[in-house]
Amino acid sequence: MTDIVVVSNRGPVSYRLEAGRPVASSASGGLAGTLRPLLAGSGTTWVAATIGEGDRLAAREGLVEADGIRVVPVDTEPAIFQMAYEVISNGTLWFCHHHLFDLARRPRFDWHWHEAWAGFRRYNRAFANAVIEEAPDGATVLVQDYHLSLLGSMLAEARPDLSSVHFLHTPFGEPDMVGVLPTAAAGELLAGLAGFGACGFHTERWASAFARCYDQPELAAAAGTDAAPATFVAPLGPAPEALAAGAVGPATVAASERLAEAVAGRRLIVRVDRIELSKNLLRGFWAFEELVYPSRESLAEYIGYRSEVEHAVARINERFGTPEWTPILFEAADDYPRSLAGLAAYDVLLVNPVRDGMNMVAKEGPLLNRRDGVVVLSRLAGAWDELSEAAIGVNPFDITGTAEALEVALLMAPEERARRAAHLIRAISARTASDWLDDQLRAAARP
């Protein structure tokens, strides 16, 4: 593994400042949390950004270390990082690939945005330079996610000896959505990705959307090529041992006890999500509201997604709550043991993103659940492709349809629940996180 270089925005370890000194905490959740245990002790090089002041100080003092992984920090100026991470990666590419643009008003590609795009290019260049300097001869370079879309062409030009692949953990925008980006930027994006030996996706749907971008004459002209790079499909699977260990930890046991007390023997619909637009929390809560009572008032226009979510929860609880029953137990703080406790205890798991690369909650839930719980799953999540035979599918935009699906799930006969739960476990157990890593290495090794 010493001739493998992993490249991602967030690395295996992050540092916070305590009394002016950097203190390490290991990555949890997400891509970095998945990769770190797979690479521990391997001597693999991992190139990652310095994200806050703690990371920057640790990098300057040469302290960065993670479980026998050789971490190479890329220390870009905070202003460049902010433009690359917030304005372009999270504010533009995330919206493009998840089809979240509110096209009547946003995006706005003004001078500020174009300056940020230049910052994104500099951030990608800084990563490319680190890989160019650090990668051993003929190394395999595994680049992760949309933040680093431009790296392919930069590496191909300077280090043709490397075998590089890009793996995208989100969907890829359909060509019309990629065409919303300023044409030169869309071209640069597609040219950057075309420089990789292969580009990987969680499902065939995202791979196909990507390849079809090169069939659009304007996009191909801007990219300078109509030849899409090779693609491969490698669905990410969960890490069952780590999940099982987390499920029996003392913090999870305590969270389970608190949850059981709050639920008091009622049936439980669970969702575990970041508060983020693609996760479609609002429509999930509105569907719950229709399920409880079949009519609904409209809400104020979009102000801030989180405050809208909080408002929806408060309103529904106010409307239907009794002294003995709080309909929605909404917990905004990130608390992994509590998430595990919820996943173990659900009768129904609601996963309704408007579009999602994979969605690991849909895969981890059934492995942890102890009640033959039913999964209600958006057909626009990548996980749907593997779980469609045993989950109940929903169109994530259809609130009434989602409410009906929740009702079907709650009323399902025990034998049918058990049959579906067993099917889900079989489908999910067919692949683990390490199969996904092996697929990337195989794709990189192809001539």
Binding site for ligand F6P (CB under 6 A): 10, 30-31, 145, 169-170, 357
Residue 170 Cβ vs ligand F6P, minimum distance, rounded to whole Å = 5
Amino acid identity, residue 249?
A: G
CA gap 101, 398 in Å, rounded: 19
Residue with CB nearest ligand F6P? 30
Q: Considering the complex, what minimum distance in angstroms separates the CB of residue 41 from ligand F6P?
A: 22
- Nearer to ligand F6P by Cβ, of 170 and 203: the residue is 170
Q: Do β-strands 198-201 and 21-26 pair in parallel, antiparallel, or remain unpaired?
A: unpaired
- Minimum distance from CB of 48 to ligand F6P (Å)? 10
- 343 or 399, CB closer to ligand F6P? 343
CA end-to-end span of the chain: 20
Residues written for the chain: 447
Supply the minimum distance, in Å, between the C-beta of residue 65 and ligand F6P.
Answer: 20
Nearer to ligand F6P, 203 or 216 (CB): 203
Q: Which is nearer to ligand F6P, 99 or 315 (CB)?
A: 99
Nearer to ligand F6P, 91 or 337 (CB): 91
3-state SS, one letter per residue, for 149-186: CCHHHHHHHHCCCCEEEEECCCCCCCHHHHCCCCHHHH
CB atoms closer than 10 angstroms to residue 297: 7
Residue 237 makes CB contacts below 8 A (sequence gap 6+) with 363, 428, 429, 430, 431, 432, 433, 435, 436
Q: Which of 185, 127, 189 is nearest to 158 (CA)?
A: 127
Instruction: Please identify, using beta-carbon distances, which residue of 113 and 436 lies nearer to ligand F6P.
Output: 436
Q: Which residues contact 104 (CB under 8 A, 6 or more apart)?
A: none
Q: How many CB atoms lie within 10 A of CB 385?
A: 16
Q: Cβ 298 to ligand F6P, closest distance in Å? A: 30
User: Sheet of 269-270: strands edge to edge?
Assistant: 269-270, 348-351, 374-378, 392-394
State the minimum distance, in angstroms, from the CB of residue 173 to ligand F6P: 14
- Please report how close the Cβ of residue 145 comes to ligand F6P at its closest, in angstroms: 5
Are 331 and 338 within 8 A, CB to CB?
Answer: yes
Report the C-alpha gap between 58 and 47 in whole angstroms. 15
Closer residue to ligand F6P in complex, CB, 27/135 = 27
Residue 32: count other Cβ atoms within 10 Å of its Cβ: 22
3-state secondary structure 129-148: HHHHHHCCCCCEEEEECHHH
Task: List, in sequence order, every beta strand (DSSP E) within 50-146.
Answer: 70-74, 140-144
CB count in 10 Å sphere of residue 191: 17
Burial class (CB in 10 A: 0-12, 13-18, 19+), 83: buried
Report, in Å, the least distance between residue 292 CB and ligand F6P.
31
User: Please, which residue, 93 or 282, has the CB nearer to ligand F6P?
Assistant: 93
Closest approach of ligand F6P to the CB of residue 131, in Å: 19
Q: Which is nearer to ligand F6P, 145 or 347 (CB)?
A: 145
Q: Which two tokens mark 214? A: 């090169």
- Between residues 342 and 357, which has the closer beta carbon with respect to ligand F6P? 357
The smaller minimum CB distance to ligand F6P, of residues 8 and 252, is found at: 8
At its nearest, how many Å lie between ligand F6P and the CB of residue 178?
Answer: 17
Q: Which two tokens stand for residue 116?
A: 């940020």
Closest CB 356 distance from ligand F6P, rounded Å: 8
Q: Are 55 and 9 in contact (CB under 8 A)?
A: no
